[in-house]
Structure formats: C-alpha cells, structure tokens
Structure 1
Amino acid sequence: MSDILTYDEMNIGDKTSFGKTISESDVYMFAGITGDFNPLHINKVEAEKTLFKSRIAHGMLSAGIISTTMTQAIHGGTSIYCSQELLFKAPVRIGDTITCTAELIEKIPEKRRLIYKTTVVNQDGVVVTDGKAVMLKK
C-alpha cells in the first residue's frame, strides 16, 4: 500500500509535524546561501548589542522548516506550494529545537487547494513563526 494520499483522502484536521535543532553551522550555511550576513545572525559581539542580546537564526530558516513540513503534509505526489503567509513572533536562537506543525484547515475542491495553518514552536512551546500555507494537490 502506498503512503501517497489522494486529495479526496485528506481530511480537515489532519496534522503533520517536523522538527530540527538549529545549529551554528545551519545559520552560517543559510547566510552563505542567501547572502544575508546581517551581524545579528553571524557576529556574536554585534548581536549582543541588540535587543535580542545574542545571535539569532534568520527568520526564513524557520520558514524552511515549514517547507519541509508541507512536503510531508501533502503526502508526496506532484503537489505545488502556492503561497505562505508568515508572522515572525519570537527569535530562534542557535541551539533551539523548533518544530513545525501543519494542520489542514480548509479544502477548496473546485481548485484542488489545501489550506494549512502552520505553526513553529521552540522547545519551550513558544510560537516563533505562525502562518498559513496554500497547496495545490494534483
């Protein structure tokens, strides 16, 4: 039996989660890939002068965790990630373990769209990134 679900097999309330501990190398690699070398992310001395008092991960790094979660939530196949709304609510620090949960909250059958609530929390249960994703399930 295949674990790839069809659009019709997916139900409101279905949830999928994915977590990862954010390492210093994750932050440096993300900076290198994106070119975002903001001292808040890569310079300990400068970051300590900010309101966060230490280096923090790029907000879009937590969005990448959402992307991985969405791949799992749509159960494979040839789905298309149409959009993502994001609210960055708290910093992600190096060493934090963040977990994204995607919950199917709406289906639009005539367009084969799936709407997910996406929530990323840290190891203390603090919401760090909140949003909504729209997927097209072929």
Structure 2
Amino acid sequence: MLLGKKRELGQRVEDIKIGENLKLTEKIEDKDLLLYLGLTNDSNPLYIQHDFALKTSFEKPVVPNIMLTGILTSAISKYIPGPGSYIVSQQLDFLKPVYHYATIDFNLEVVKVDIERNEVIVQVKGIDEQGEIVVQGKITANPPRIAED
C-alpha cells in the first residue's frame, strides 16, 4: 500500500517528449469487477448476471467502460507523466464491448507537450485478444509541479 510512503514526483512537463510510450497488459478478473460494483454501488445486471446478459445483444456480462477508463487513468498517474499528475480531460470511444476475463493490451503515447500550460496529451488505445480496438482516445493531464513558496 502506498499510504504513508514518500513517493517521488512523476516527470515534469519539461522532461516529457512527444513519442514517449507505454504498453501494459491487463486481465479483467472477477475480483476487479466486484470491487468496482461494490465501490460504485452500480447494480446494472449487464455487468454481472449471466442470465440477464443472455437476453441482451451482448449475450454475456460486459466489463463497465469506466473500469477501462480507470486502468488508463491509473497508467497516467503511475507512469506518464506519473505520480503527482492531474487529469484534466478525457475523450474516449468504446468501440467494442469487453467481456469478463478478457486480456487487454493498452498502449499510451505522448502526442503533445505544452510547457507553457503544463499540459500533455496522451493518445490511448486498448486492444483485445482478437487484435481489435476496444477503446481509443486522448487523455490530457497536468504533470506534477512543485509549489512555489
């Protein structure tokens, strides 16, 4: 757990370069879904009930899109720009449903650095086991900045 531990700040905007990238792989497990549902009190049966999902066009439970968003924003907070960064906007398109137990490869790449505004834009993409894009878009973040006394 990170509570109580001193963490280094992530990259400053001056140190970030266009083209920096990160690739990570996430497998969606039952525990992740249950934590999300418990935390948000989201009771949409499409996310967990197989008999309900069978009656829909999805045919089986789907992963909530906000969970995929959380994986992406977590990568921004951990890696690019890293600890201390703050997400100011996100534009994401969910092109295909993600089902339980899916493994998704996420790709993040810095496409714009604005030093004056202390802002970076990270292009994001999630690809499923079939090689199809399930989520894509851009996340804008303010890299960490040390407060001036």
TM over 0.5: yes
* Candidates 86, 104, 107, aligned match of 1:98: 104
**AA matched with 1:6:** R
RMSD of aligned alpha carbons: 1.7
Aligned residues: 136
Match of 1:116 in 2: 122
| Greater mean alpha carbon deviation, residues 123-132 or residues 46-55 | 123-132
Asked if the contact 1:19–1:65 (Cα under 8 Å) also holds between the matched residues in 2, the reply is: no
Match of 2:141 in 1: 135
* TM-score for the superposition, normalised by structure 1: 0.90
Moved over 4 A (4+): none
1:73 maps onto 2:80 in alignment: yes
**AA matched with 1:75:** G
Asked if the contact 1:90–1:128 (Cα under 8 Å) also holds between the matched residues in 2, the reply is: yes
Asked if the contact 1:7–1:112 (Cα under 8 Å) also holds between the matched residues in 2, the reply is: yes
Residue pairs, 1:17-28, within 5 angstroms: 17-28=23-34
Which stretches in structure 1 are left out of the alignment for 5+ residues? none
Asked if the contact 1:17–1:69 (Cα under 8 Å) also holds between the matched residues in 2, the reply is: no
Which stretches in structure 2 are left out of the alignment for 5+ residues? 1-7
Asked if the contact 2:10–2:85 (Cα under 8 Å) also holds between the matched residues in 1, the reply is: no
Residue pairs, 1:38-53, within 5 angstroms: 38-53=44-59
Partners of 1:79 and 1:59 lie apart in 2 by 22
Match of 1:15 in 2: 21
Choose between structure 1 and 2: higher helix proportion: 1
Percent of aligned pairs sharing the same letter = 24
